[in-house]
Amino acid sequence: MASGTGQHAVAFAEAFPALDWVPSDIDPGQRGSIEAWRRASGAANFAAPLAIDIAAPWPVETGSAQAVLAVNLLHLIPESALAPLFEGARAALGAGGRAIVYGPFLRAAGYASDGDRDFDAVLRARDPSIGYKSLEAVSGAAASAGFDPVAIDAMPANNLLLTFAAS
């Protein structure tokens, strides 16, 4: 989901050739970039990009995916988009499939650093409807859509990798 330029998505596909990767983005310009990266790579396990707005119904066959990965997206969408994001992921996945989200989050104790506080303020100044999501909001949306929590892994630069399993 939200594969951006496609540079990172292609790197994942090349690093994990046994998996089939299906990039997507809401932005046609980004999808053009993904397609350019796809052609430059030639990776056989990297599909043409899909046009997906995570907040709208996904053009994905029900139960067809083993995992859904969204990197650096959740702080850029409104909190109201968390529910359709996890509902779309749940529909795309079979039982046991994983929904994995990576990025900066608000912890119970607040911001992980002053830099995170500043970045969130910049985002909210640009658009008051977006910004860092609390772990509670993300976990709640995931649970409501039919996911069980699996792991919260600390990543560089105060980012977290949250993994949920479809029940």
Q: Are 100 and 67 in contact (CB under 8 A)?
A: yes
Which of 68, 71, 93, 99 forms a contact with ligand SAM (CB under 6 A)? 71
**79 near ligand SAM, judged by CB under 6 A:** no
Is residue 8 a contact residue for ligand SAM (CB under 6 A)?
Answer: yes
Residue nearer to ligand SAM on the CB measure, 57 or 94: 57
Min. distance of Cβ 109 from ligand SAM in angstroms? 25
Give alpha helix (H) positions in 51-105: 82-92
Rounded to whole angstroms, how far apart are CA atoms 85 and 2? Answer: 11
Decide: is 26 part of the binding site for ligand SAM (CB under 6 A).
yes
Per rule CB under 6 A, count of chain residues that contact ligand SAM: 17
Per the DSSP assignment, residues forming a β-bridge with 99 are: 68, 164
Whether residue 25 contacts residue 3, with contact meaning beta carbons closer than 8 Å, is answered with yes
Nearest Cα to 80, choosing from 18, 131, 120, 39? 131
Residue 149 backbone dihedrals phi, psi, to 5 degrees: -70, 140
Cβ at position 129, least distance to ligand SAM in Å: 12
Residue 140 touching ligand SAM (CB under 6 A): no
Q: Applying CB under 6 A, which residues contact ligand SAM? A: 2-4, 8, 25-27, 30, 52-55, 71-73, 76-77
